[in-house]
Amino acid sequence: MIAHINEWFDWMKAGASYHPDLGESGWLAILPQRKPQAELSADIEADYCIIGAGFAGLAAARRLLQIHKTARVVILEAATVGSGPAGRNSGFMIDLPHVLSSSSYAGQAASDQRDIKLNRHAIAFVREVVDEFDMPEEAFRAEGKINAAASHSGVRANQEYSEHLQKLGELCELLDARAMQAITGSSYYLGGLRTPGTAMIQPALLVQGFADGLANLVNCELFEQSAVVSIQKQSDRWKLSTAKGSVLAAKAILAVNGFVENFGFYRRRLMHVNLYASMTRELSEREVSELAGEDRWGFTPSDPFGTTVRKINDSGGHRLIIRNRFSYDPGLVPRNEQLQRAAHDHDQAFHARFPGLSAVTMQHRWSGRLCLSRNHAWALGQVAEHLYSACCQNGLGTTKGTVAGIIAAEMACEQQVDSLMPEFENDELPQKLLPEPFMTVGARTYLRLREWLAGKDR
């Protein structure tokens, strides 16, 4: 379906702006320094040009090359790979329904079945990439995760979600407070719900390995620090211009997450939210043994508006990562004061859970963008002739971004067999937002209320 063609002309007037996220992602900071791929500094041609090197863009490039083995594919990334949301998330590649607006992540049975199928496809696709590009073990571990409950309402949400999963025929295991303490070393949690299918990733390591693996292929080129500032139709091709060069491509895929609005598409249909995270300094051997518990674990909160916690013990040493707070930022520009507020909440959440680690401070703090729609629909599809969008992942971008990239590539290649396209055919467009100021006031009030209701789970 060709949608929003007229909106593109709006973009011509507005111009595409790109704003980096705030703070350096701890995931990136604990990795050895990587040499970015070169900036685009010439006028070149390609069969396909992909804009954005997050999960969606990288998956699109790999899928295009699987289908069209000899095609020339160029990826343009505004920042350096791993410094955007793809490298600054909490690293849960979740296979199960994960509806943030629900009280327990459960959605409708029919859409949940489809989500499970697509999410597992994405996890398998990324696992193949990890093997193909020979990434270290810490990039991707199929270890499962736990929904952690610190309140009685959290325990009820876990119970509700486990019943929903059982109806869907999915494996899960309820844990009591003692089991949770054995895992974490903390007496904070009342219970948990373990689900085995989530892959726990080191997001920055994974996307860097993915991007560099693609860039090493003979017919794929990746240019970093090369923000696309204009797109123009030139006869039957698209010209994508950066500050110092351009790509003339037969087909192009926009994999820029919420920034797709800046290109004139899906205007007033996408909700832009920032999430916030902090990572501790490396724990000393004494702190690790005093904390006890297992070496590695990942907890999503049983209330979707609670606190996510991970413990890692890889190349950056033993560390804990805390994520909570949402802010609604319709202009796509992150706000420093929100990062400061979140930092305060992260310290509170950390010390409440780990009072024995009172001397441990946070070394890295950051924010990152999330793109949502009111009806949980993707901004996915053909938006103009030979131009496709793979955006708006509704909170589960590691898996849904991968799926969106795969589907956009299959659309661009008109791949009918062995394709995920039929799974997507009848999807709606993202629903229109309410008029301002009702949308912003309503969204901010909703977020604050849900965070407050999360109580001890936050």
Tell me which residues touch ligand FAD (CB under 6 A): 16, 18, 51-57, 76-79, 84-86, 88-92, 227-228, 255-257, 259, 275, 277, 323, 368, 370, 393, 396-399, 401
Q: How far is the CB of 16 from ligand FAD (least distance, A)?
A: 5
Cα distance between residue 11 and residue 230, in whole Å: 9
Q: How far is the CB of 180 from ligand FAD (least distance, A)?
A: 20
Task: Choose between 57 and 288: whose C-beta lies nearer to ligand FAD.
Answer: 57
Strand 73-76 versus strand 43-51 pairing type: parallel
Task: Choose between 133 and 223: whose C-beta lies nearer to ligand FAD.
Answer: 223
Q: How far is the CB of 401 from ligand FAD (least distance, A)?
A: 3
Cα distance between residue 455 and residue 444, in whole Å: 18
- Sequence-separated (6 or more) residues with CB below 8 Å from residue 166: 172
Strand partners for 45: 248
Q: How far is the CB of 101 from ligand FAD (least distance, A)?
A: 15
Residue number of the CB atom closest to ligand FAD? 397
Q: Where are the beta strands (DSSP E) in 343-378?
A: 362-372
Helices (H), 91-196: 109-132, 152-167, 177-184
Q: What's the gap between Cα 112 and its chain centre?
A: 19
Task: Choose between 91 and 185: whose C-beta lies nearer to ligand FAD.
Answer: 91
Q: What's the gap between Cα 382 and its chain centre?
A: 22
Task: Choose between 288 and 305: whose C-beta lies nearer to ligand FAD.
Answer: 305
Task: Choose between 79 and 309: whose C-beta lies nearer to ligand FAD.
Answer: 79
Task: Choose between 277 and 320: whose C-beta lies nearer to ligand FAD.
Answer: 277
Q: How far is the CB of 420 from ligand FAD (least distance, A)?
A: 16
Q: How far is the CB of 390 from ligand FAD (least distance, A)?
A: 7
Cα distance between residue 322 and residue 374, in whole Å: 27
Q: How far is the CB of 371 from ligand FAD (least distance, A)?
A: 7
- Sequence-separated (6 or more) residues with CB below 8 Å from residue 305: 100, 326, 447, 450, 451, 453, 454, 457, 458
Number of residues assigned to the chain: 458
| Cβ neighbourhood burial of 181 (10 Å; 0-12, 13-18, 19+) | middle
Task: Choose between 257 and 419: whose C-beta lies nearer to ligand FAD.
Answer: 257
